[in-house]
Amino acid sequence: MKVEVLGNVQDGGVPHLGCNCEVCREARENPAEQKFVSSIMLKENDDEDSARYLIEASPDIRMQLAGGEYVDGVFIPLATLGHITGLQFFGPEGPDASDLSVYCCEEVKDFMMKNDPYRLLIDRDNLEMQSFSDGDVIDVQGGEVESKQFYHKHVNYDTTGYMIHGEDKKLFYLADITAFTDEIEACIEEADIALIDGTFWSEDEIGRYEEVPHPPIRRSLDQFEGLDTRIYFTHLNHTNPALRKDSEERNEIKERGFSVAERGHEFQL
Ligand SMILES: [Zn+2]
Ligand SMILES: [Zn+2]
């Protein structure tokens, strides 16, 4: 199985609404500097008839599927801006999908059933809900996707991390979480490759960190240094200095044996 990175920034995207920081300004001036919201695609191989699954339905989905690929299923980790909004593009204003499989936990399904833009897509059979519980394994062409649920303080329900099992390797994906618990660390350790929350470099990066806490990269480097897992940070906020390839922070990440996920990165599992 192959995993391709389709985006690496936080829900609000880059450029960020109402921001004129250097990163956002450059992204407005030069479309090549735009960054897409964190998401990955799974496929058995590059053949045209290979099934393709998304983890995340980001608001940048139209640009992320730039090759016009057909999608066979979408895994949703949580119901916030960067993770579920893209599903709306599968309705009648778009390709008018027929029974597109949406895999998510009961809380996300419940959210969708209670909110019209999503409920209508379900009623019209654009989307077919396939809800799962913690630990469930979903067979996909070329491998398996195992759900790993963790409490997320910001939304006050569980968010889903995904352990993707290929023929030889495992990749763990958890882009948006409030803190890395022992349980999460065990998943990272179990995987060969992990794409994890790197929203902020440090706690003092924005004035309202307490309101939107995420595990800062600076701390994660200490926490996970020494693990054999190849770790990539994703879901970076526009304020995160590690977004810039020439920054000291990006250099420190590299020197300590970690990476920042970039659109176009591919992993063979
Ligand atoms: Zn997010
Ligand atoms: Zn900005």
| Residue-wise burial string across 155-184, b where 16 or more C-beta atoms lie within 10 A, e elsewhere | bebbbbbbbbbbeebbbbbbbbbbebeeeb
> Would strands 127-132 and 230-234 be described as parallel, antiparallel, or unpaired?
unpaired
Q: Give 3-state DSSP helix, strand, coil % of the chain, rounded to 5.
A: 25, 30, 45
Q: How far apart are the CA of 102 and the centre of ligand 2, in A? A: 32
Please compute Rg for the chain using Cα positions: 18
Residues with CB under 5 A from ligand 2 (ion): 16, 19, 21, 24, 238
Identify the bridge partners of residue 16 per DSSP, sorted by sequence position. Answer: none
Q: How far apart are the CA of 206 and the centre of ligand 1, in A? A: 16
Q: Mean pLDDT for each 10-residue chunk of the chain (269 residues)?
A: 97 96 95 96 91 97 85 95 96 94 96 96 97 93 95 78 97 96 97 98 88 93 97 98 96 98 97
Ligand number nearest CA of 206 is: 2
3-state SS class at 14: strand
Q: Around Cβ 100, how many Cβ atoms within 10 Å?
A: 19
- pLDDT value of residue 191: 98
In order of their start, the domains of the chain are 2-268 (3.60.15.10)
Q: How far apart are the CA of 221 and the centre of ligand 1, in A? A: 20
Q: How far apart are the CA of 48 and the centre of ligand 1, in A? A: 30
Q: How far apart are the CA of 6 and the centre of ligand 1, in A? A: 14
Predicted TM-score of the model (pTM):
0.96
- pLDDT value of residue 156: 74
Contact 57, 79 (CB under 8 A): no
- The C-alpha atoms of residue 215 and residue 219 are separated, in whole angstroms, by 7
Ligand number nearest CA of 12 is: 1
Contact 37, 202 (CB under 8 A): no
